[in-house]
Structure formats: C-alpha cells, structure tokens
C-alpha cells in the first residue's frame, strides 16, 4: 500500500525524501553580510536575508524558519540552519562576506578556559566542583564589588575554614558588598601613608578598585559566569574565570589611578600576612619588584615563604620586561612563576571592494562604522601627512612599511578609514598598550601583502571616482594558527635572584584577556568618557591569575597535595607544541623555537595536571639547603624562614625541582665536562607503575637518566634517579641549548625541560 502511494505520488515523495536528507545534515551557521549590498527594494535586513536564502534553499516555504536570528547591532547578518549544499550556494550570493559554524559552548569571552581545554562535563572543572570552597586571595589594586562577575549564584555557604572578618568599603568594616563569592576585602596603606604623608589627601580608605587591575585579575582567576559579556561587540559570549566557584578575597595594596599606581613593600607584606591569617588556599600576585633583589630583601619572597609553609599555592607574574633574557622578576624557588603566551583568537574585519571581492584582515577598531561605498585610494607608504589630509574622506591604502609610523601619520591626518598592508601580526602590533583597543579616531584594517596586491590592482584598474570599498568590523575569529606562542614582552629567565632554579615555571594565556572592569573607570586611553563592564588586558598580570585559578582547581580536587606538588603537576603535564603540532615559538625572536628560559616547562594544561602520574615534591628543609648553598648567612636565612635554627649541614643547589638548568664555563678545552642532578619523584597515580625515561637531545651534549626505568609498587612511593649531562665545554659565552627528559608509563607523560648554558649569561 505504501509502495503504491509512493508510485502515485512520486515527485512529492522525492521532495519529502530530499528534505529529510537535507535536514539530517543541516547545521547552524552565522552569516556575515555586507549591508551596502542590500537592494533598495527591501525595507529591512530581515526581508533581504529571507530573499537571499530563498534562492539557495530546497523549499522556499521553509526559508523563514531557517533564519534563527537577525543581527543588526553586533554585526550585519543572520544565523540560519543550512545543509552543506545550501551553505555552499549561499557563498555566491551578492553581499555574502563570511560564515562560521554556530558551535555549542564555543564562545567564552576570555576564551582562555576553552583554549585551556576546560570542560564542564569532564576533567578539572567537575573533578574540583569548579574550585568550590577554595579561597583565592589576590594582592592587587582592589575590587569593584558591584561587578556581575562577583555574583554568588549557585554558591554554597562560606566554608568554616574562612577566618576573615573584614569587608572594607567606604570606611565600613562590615559592608554588604561582600557575599558568598567575594568573601573578603581589605586595604593596606599604612606603610605608604607613613612614607608619604601627603598621600593621605589623595586616597580613600576603601578596597574599592580605582585602578581596574585588581578587578580584572580577580575575575580572571575566579569570576562567576556572566552571559552576554563583550568589549563593544568583540569577544561576545559568556565570561567566566578559571575557577568559577572559588571564593575571592581581595587585599588592596596598590593605590593611585591607572596611569600612576603606587605600592610599597611594607603594605605588600602586611597584606600577605593577613591573607595567611584569613585562611586563603591560593595567592595570586600580579606584581613584583622593579629591580632585582636578593631573596632576603624581596618582600614577596619573604612573605610567600610563610605562605608556602602553610600549604598556600602562590602564583606570581614573571614581569613584562622581555624579550631580553635575565629580565624575569619573582624568580623565587617556592613560588610558581608565570610567563605570558598568546591564544588562538584574533579580531578581524572585512574590506569589500567595489567589484565584490571581500578581503579579511585583523582589526581592533571599536567604533561603529556606518559609511558605505567610500572612495578608496592608494597612498604609497602613507608618510606624508599633508597629502593624507587631502584624501581624509577616503579609505586610504598604505603599502608595506614602518607600520607604527604609518599608523601615527594616518591618525594625524584624521582620515575616515585606512587599510595597512603588512605581515605584522595582531600580537606584534598591539604589544604596546597604547595601540591596543585605544583608538576611536579612524577605522583601520591590516591585510596581508597578497591581499594588498589585490587591493592595489583594483584601485589601479579603476578611476578614482569608480574605486569604492566598504569596511565591516568586530568579527571574533577562533582557531588561528600557530597558537600559542610566547608573548613578546614576557620576561625571560634565568632569575638573577636564584639562577640555579630554572624560571619561568609555566606559560599561560595573556593576550587580550577579557575580564571585569570598574564601571566608573574609562576603558580607553586617552579617551575619558567611554565605559564598559569588561575590558581587555595583556601581560603577565593576566597570565598569573590563570595559573592561580588552575591551582585552585587542583587544590579542590587534590586536597592533600603540597604547593610544590601542584606546581610540579602543572609543569610536567604542560604542552610544548602549538596547534600546528610544532614546538611553541618565541614571537619576538623571529618565531624561532621558544627555549624554556622563555616558555618554562610549557603551556598550562589544567586537565592533564589533574593526573600527572609523578610529582617532584619539595619540603621546607630542601629550600633551606638551597639557601645555605647560595651562601646566605644565618641571619639572611632567618629573615626568610623566620627560624633561628636553620640546618645548613647539607647545603645543595640541586633542588628537587621538575626542571634542570646547567651552567658550563666557556672555553676551548678538549676535556669533557659533567654535571649531575639528583631527583626524587612520588607516584601519585594508582598502584603499581613502571616508568621509562626518554631524552629529547640537547644539542652538543650527552644526557642520560640513571636508572632509566622506575618501578613503583604502590601509590605515594618515592623513587630517585640521576640526570647526567656530559659534553664539551662551550666555546662561546651566552650559548643556550635545551631538551627534555620524559618519563612515561603508557598512560602518563611526565616531561621536564633541560637547559644548558654558560655561566656568564649576559644576553
């Protein structure tokens, strides 16, 4: 009977089968359209989109149901459910610019939780209950308590281990601004006031953030979920911190406005002291000394030693003085020192020429660019402001040249829009804060030299009046390659305060991180009247709270681990390869392979850190042995340890650390030099395990592990091995070679970096 119906209704049956097949394969796509291409017969964008879709859909009656959203503010375009055939056909439609899949849970605005692989259904997030009941203390510039990122939705009652009592806002010690998310807020300025009595007339005794830095770092580490966050249309989506359900306690020690922050050592130490008393589990410190200090004079080194003894995991920024070596701050052995790395997100714009050709480049332009069909002119190197002023109402095209100077010249000419032809990357150009999301003066797009030739050819083959173009902005693109990379300004090791411990430890996201911002502080400089709830920041200040958040997740899931064990897990499970499966590159060094002096052990991977297999643990006495070997006096050591009974009977520079740095003397001697390191690893996996060592060669050196097999019979068993580095003496000062030792048991990969260099490290 059914067969007869199909025979009698052959064509309807075929149509139905085609629709079923089409719908089964359909996906959602976000379609970007050029509004200037909309014919005047259409009264609104939606009707135009419907008409456009009707020409590519299998059944015109289903066209309107395919359109899910029509966008008129954040972009010109729509979201539609299309089959692959329909999607391909749409690409040839007039006005089509680009499309991206509408992937579920794809857009998190900081993007860093997603880039780090955090998943609500498996891994570090659910294992730690999103960091629930872990308390993160931040030593910073204060907090903006009204931020939505500090909402306490879904949070349990404050854990009993919390001893903090103060919530200091506007001269009140028991302010209602605190809740189950923001559980503490204290300020420290007595040292600053005593040092500068005039400061009392310019500061207000409150933990409220007048700088923005503290609000940003605290919500990067532990901000609660906020939907619909963006920076004027860029990175639109859901904002959340790394440890979403962890508690936050702010300790304000930074005073002054954004352009002139002030902090001094006495206030920093008082703040860390209070944090220890209050019962924090993790400390995030995105600041450091302005010059090198010995460990016994470094307030952060001294105060954090006590924190380490109490089991507090401390994350510190490496500094933003790169790319030169020996610029690293916070190289203290008992801290986790964080370098800065890029992500796979860029912000793009589209240049559509009058002949319909669309070219995509990158742009951070924030304005609303509504002009269409503007004349476009080629102005060579754009190095003549007078000539640029003559065409300021055009879109000017600048040939490949000194991009920073060109950007300035075009700014002075006050042009309506500019296209810069350059191979310079988004990260390279905006490594200076003043160029990053600061300028509203003119629309700008950076395109590749290949696309530049297409643009110049179009202009050359048309008269000036006929050469027109349109520009569209605010496209957030994910999956750019290669990523990650080591950011240009990230400070490099080794640390002058303790060069025998390889620093930095780890690299984490730092470029254009979107997090909460005080709503009464401008988000653009020098523009003073533009405000937003969120802002992008770049630097190791933003990479540090990422690792603090990861530390909180591990604290929540592995409550018995020491700070050193957490650091070890983070380091040995990190990634050394980017999304092209090549070794992570150093952006400032011509994209050459990043050495551990820039990258540390690798790029942080929170999910793998949850199950590292082996950890390199370090106790208080181990740190004392190191201090003794560094020739600190008993008085110096007591300054750090607060104990007058420091056992220096076994001094050793060979700390049980998950990395290695060997210093060799330069010279022409034919004799072979040998250095040996001793390490003890603890099996934190389940039961029996056999680990076998493999060595990624260090060029010019013979590296071996003795023994090269470790057989564990039970959990928490400790076994030792020796790493031997043998080779000829280096003939040049300032040479660097590196490799890795990796222990594997078939499930776990436990990797440690090895650096070999000369004593006179003056790069």
Q: Are residues 564 and 686 in the same domain?
A: no
pLDDT, position 544: 95
Q: Are residues 186 and 276 in the same domain?
A: yes
Cis bond upstream, residue 707 (ω within 30): yes
Q: Which of 478, 507, 529 is the last residue of a domain?
A: 478
pLDDT exceeds 50 at position 147: yes
Q: Is the pTM of this model over 0.75?
A: yes
> How buried is residue 7: exposed, middle or buried, by Cβ count under 10 Å (0-12/13-18/19+)?
exposed
Active site residue 344: no
> What are the pLDDT digits (tens) for 265-307?
878 888 898 999 899 999 999 988 877 888 988 889 988 999 9
Q: Are residues 332 and 351 in the same domain?
A: no
Query: Does residue 614 lie within any of the structural domains?
Result: no
pLDDT exceeds 50 at position 109: no
pLDDT exceeds 60 at position 5: no
Distances (CA, A) of 327 to 291, 339, 705, 762: 9, 12, 31, 11
Query: Does residue 339 lie within any of the structural domains?
Result: yes
Q: Are residues 536 and 677 in the same domain?
A: no
pLDDT, position 283: 97
List the single range of 224-228, 420-424, 660-664, 683-687 with lowest mean pLDDT.
Answer: 420-424
Angle among Cα 323, 285, 639 to the nearest 5 degrees reads 100
Active site residue 260: no
Contact 606, 123 (CB under 8 A): yes
Strands (DSSP E) contained in 5-85 are 27-33, 67-71, 77-82
Q: What percent of the chain has pLDDT over 90?
A: 49
> What are the pLDDT digits (tens) for 451-493?
999 999 999 998 777 888 999 888 777 878 888 999 888 899 9
Euclidean distance between CA atoms 214 and 206, whole angstroms: 13
Comparing 234 with 10, which gets the higher pLDDT? 234
Query: Does residue 106 lie within any of the structural domains?
Result: no
Report the domain count for the chain. 5
pLDDT exceeds 80 at position 151: yes
Q: Give counts: helices (H), strands (E), the chain.
A: 21, 34
Query: Does residue 107 lie within any of the structural domains?
Result: no
Most confident of the ranges 304-318, 403-417, 510-524: 304-318
pLDDT exceeds 80 at position 344: yes
Catalytic residue among 34, 133, 140, 510: 140
The mean predicted confidence, pLDDT, of the chain is 85
pLDDT, position 368: 78
pLDDT, position 292: 81
pLDDT exceeds 70 at position 370: yes
pLDDT, position 616: 98
Q: Are residues 88 and 197 in the same domain?
A: no
Query: Does residue 440 lie within any of the structural domains?
Result: yes
Residue 414 belongs to domain with CATH number: 3.50.30.30
Q: Which of 56, 75, 101 is the last residue of a domain?
A: 101
List the single range of 100-114, 146-160, 292-306 with lowest mean pLDDT.
Answer: 100-114
List the single range of 306-315, 319-328, 663-672 with lowest mean pLDDT.
Answer: 663-672
pLDDT, position 259: 57
DSSP letter (8 states) at residue 11:
H
Q: Are residues 158 and 250 in the same domain?
A: yes
pLDDT exceeds 50 at position 374: yes
pLDDT exceeds 80 at position 432: no
β-bridge pairing 689-696 and 736-744: antiparallel
**pLDDT band of 107, cuts 50, 70, 90:** very low
For the chain, what is the largest distance between any 2 Cα atoms, rounded to a whole number of angstroms?
101
Comparing 332 with 118, which gets the higher pLDDT? 332
> What are the pLDDT digits (tens) for 154-203?
899 999 999 998 899 986 766 789 999 999 999 988 778 767 767 766 77
| All residues at 6 or more sequence positions from 291 whose CB lies less than 8 Å from its CB, including other chains | none
CA dihedral (228, 229, 235, 241) in degrees, to 10, reads -120
Using DSSP's 3-state secondary structure scheme, residue 116 falls into coil
> What are the pLDDT digits (tens) for 507-542?
999 878 889 999 998 887 666 678 889 888 887 889
Average pLDDT over residues 586-605: 92
Residue 543 belongs to domain with CATH number: 3.40.50.200
Catalytic residue among 213, 216, 348, 748: 213
Average pLDDT over residues 31-49: 83
Euclidean distance between CA atoms 231 and 660, whole angstroms: 42
Residue 692 belongs to domain with CATH number: 2.60.40.2310
Q: Are residues 660 and 636 in the same domain?
A: no
Q: Are residues 267 and 400 in the same domain?
A: no
Comparing 532 with 714, which gets the higher pLDDT? 714
pLDDT exceeds 90 at position 551: yes
**pLDDT band of 428, cuts 50, 70, 90:** low
Backbone angles phi, psi at 571, to 5 degrees: -75, -50
- The DSSP annotation for 298-347 comes to -HHHHHHHHHHHTT-EEEEE--S-TTSTT------TTSEEEEEE--SEEE
Query: Does residue 36 lie within any of the structural domains?
Result: yes
Q: Are residues 262 and 214 in the same domain?
A: yes
Query: Does residue 365 lie within any of the structural domains?
Result: yes
Which strand ranges, in their side-by-side order, compose the sheet holding 96-101? 67-71, 77-82, 27-33, 96-101
Q: Which of 478, 496, 529 is the last residue of a domain?
A: 478
Average pLDDT over residues 35-64: 79
Residue 7 belongs to domain with CATH number: 3.30.70
Comparing 194 with 31, which gets the higher pLDDT? 31
pLDDT exceeds 60 at position 376: yes
Q: Are residues 257 and 142 in the same domain?
A: yes
Using DSSP's 3-state secondary structure scheme, residue 519 falls into coil
Contact 438, 525 (CB under 8 A): yes
Catalytic residue among 491, 541, 543, 574: 541
CA atoms within 13 A on the CB side of 215: 29
β-bridge pairing 709-712 and 689-696: antiparallel
Nearest to 411 by CA among 365, 475, 474, 470: 365
Euclidean distance between CA atoms 395 and 492, whole angstroms: 41
Contact 31, 86 (CB under 8 A): no
What is the domain range of residue 720? 655-758
Comparing 739 with 426, which gets the higher pLDDT? 739
Query: Does residue 47 lie within any of the structural domains?
Result: yes
Contact 131, 245 (CB under 8 A): yes
> What tokens does 224 get?
């609660």
> What tokens does 570 get?
């983070």
Q: Are residues 192 and 304 in the same domain?
A: yes
How big is the chain by its Cα radius of gyration, in Å?
29
pLDDT, position 69: 56
Q: Are residues 332 and 366 in the same domain?
A: no
Active site residue 140: yes
């Amino acid at each position: 009977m059914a067969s007869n119906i199909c025979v009698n209704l052959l064509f309807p049956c075929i149509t139905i089968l085609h629709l079923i097949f089409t719908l089964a394969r359909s996906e959602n796509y976000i379609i970007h359209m050029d509004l200037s291409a909309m014919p005047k017969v259409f009264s609104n964008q939606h009707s135009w989109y419907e008409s456009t879709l009707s020409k590519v859909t299998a059944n015109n009656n289903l066209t309107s149901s395919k359109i899910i959203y029509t966008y008129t503010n954040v972009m010109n375009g729509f979201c539609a459910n299309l089959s692959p055939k329909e999607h391909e056909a749409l690409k040839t439609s007039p006005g089509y610019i680009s499309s991206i899949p509408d992937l579920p849970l794809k857009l998190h605005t900081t993007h860093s939780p997603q880039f780090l692989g955090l998943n609500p259904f498996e891994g570090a997030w659910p294992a730690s209950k999103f960091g629930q009941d872990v308390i993160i203390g931040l030593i910073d510039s204060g907090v903006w308590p009204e931020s939505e990122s500090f909402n306490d939705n879904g949070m349990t009652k404050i854990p009993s281990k919390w001893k903090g009592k103060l919530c200091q806002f506007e001269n009140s010690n028991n302010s209602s601004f605190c809740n189950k998310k923001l559980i503490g807020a204290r300020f420290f300025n007595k040292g600053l006031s005593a040092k500068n009595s005039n400061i009392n007339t310019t500061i207000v005794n409150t933990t409220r953030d007048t700088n923005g830095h503290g609000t940003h770092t605290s919500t990067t580490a532990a901000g609660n979920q906020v939907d619909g966050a963006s920076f004027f249309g860029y990175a639109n989506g859901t904002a959340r911190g790394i440890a979403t359900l962890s508690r936050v306690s702010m300790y304000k020690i930074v005073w002054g406005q954004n352009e002139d922050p002030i902090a001094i050592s006495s206030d920093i130490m008082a703040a860390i002291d209070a944090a220890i008393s209050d019962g924090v589990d993790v400390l995030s410190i995105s600041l450091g000394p302005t010059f090198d200090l010995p460990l016994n004079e470094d307030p952060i080194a001294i105060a954090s030693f006590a924190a380490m003894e109490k089991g507090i995991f401390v994350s510190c920024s490496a500094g933003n003085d790169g790319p030169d070596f020996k610029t690293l701050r916070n190289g203290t052995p008992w801290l986790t020192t964080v370098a800065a790395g890029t992500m796979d997100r860029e912000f793009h714009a589209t240049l559509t020429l009058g002949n319909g050709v669309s070219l995509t480049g990158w742009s951070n332009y924030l304005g609303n660019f509504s002009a269409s069909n503007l004349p476009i002119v080629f102005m060579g190197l754009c190095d003549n402001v007078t000539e640029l002023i003559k065409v300021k109402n055009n879109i000017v095209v600048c040939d490949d040249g000194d991009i920073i100077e060109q950007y300035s010249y075009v700014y002075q000419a006050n042009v309506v829009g500019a296209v810069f032809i350059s191979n310079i990357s988004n990260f390279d150009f905006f490594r200076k804060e003043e160029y990053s999301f600061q300028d509203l003066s003119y629309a700008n797009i950076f395109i590749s030299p290949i696309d530049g030739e297409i643009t110049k050819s179009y202009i050359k083959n048309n008269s000036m009046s006929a050469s027109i173009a349109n520009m569209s902005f605010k496209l957030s693109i994910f999956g750019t390659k290669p990523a990650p990379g080591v950011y240009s300004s990230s400070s490099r090791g080794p640390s002058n305060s303790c060069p025998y411990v390889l620093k930095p430890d780890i690299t984490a996201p730092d470029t254009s991180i979107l997090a909460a911002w005080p709503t009464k502080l401008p988000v653009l400089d020098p523009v003073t009247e533009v405000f937003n709830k969120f802002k992008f920041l770049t630097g190791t200040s933003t990479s540090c709270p990422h690792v603090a958040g990861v530390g909180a997740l591990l604290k929540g899931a592995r409550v018995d681990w020491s700070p050193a064990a957490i650091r070890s897990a983070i380091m040995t499970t990190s990634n050394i390869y980017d999304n092209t499966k090549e070794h992570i590159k150093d952006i400032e060094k011509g994209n050459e392979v990043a050495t551990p002096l820039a990258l540390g052990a690798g790029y942080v991977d929170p999910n793998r850190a949850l199950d590292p297999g082996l950890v390199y643990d370090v106790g208080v006495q181990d740190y004392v042995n190191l201090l003794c070997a560094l020739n600190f006096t008993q008085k110096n050591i007591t300054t750090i340890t607060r104990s007058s009974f420091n056992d220096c009977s076994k001094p050793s520079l060979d700390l049980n650390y998950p990395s290695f740095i060997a210093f060799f003397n330069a010279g022409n001697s034919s004799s072979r030099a040998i250095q040996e390191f001793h390490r003890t690893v603890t099996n934190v996996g389940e039961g029996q395990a056999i680990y076998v060592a493999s060595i990624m060669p260090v060029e010019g050196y013979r590296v071996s592990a003795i023994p090269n097999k470790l057989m564990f019979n039970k959990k928490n068993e400790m076994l030792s091995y020796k790493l031997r580095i043998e080779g000829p003496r280096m003939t040049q000062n300032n040479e660097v070679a590196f490799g890795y030792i990796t222990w594997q048991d078939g499930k776990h990969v436990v990797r440690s970096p090895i650096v070999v260099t000369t004593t006179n490290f003056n790069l």
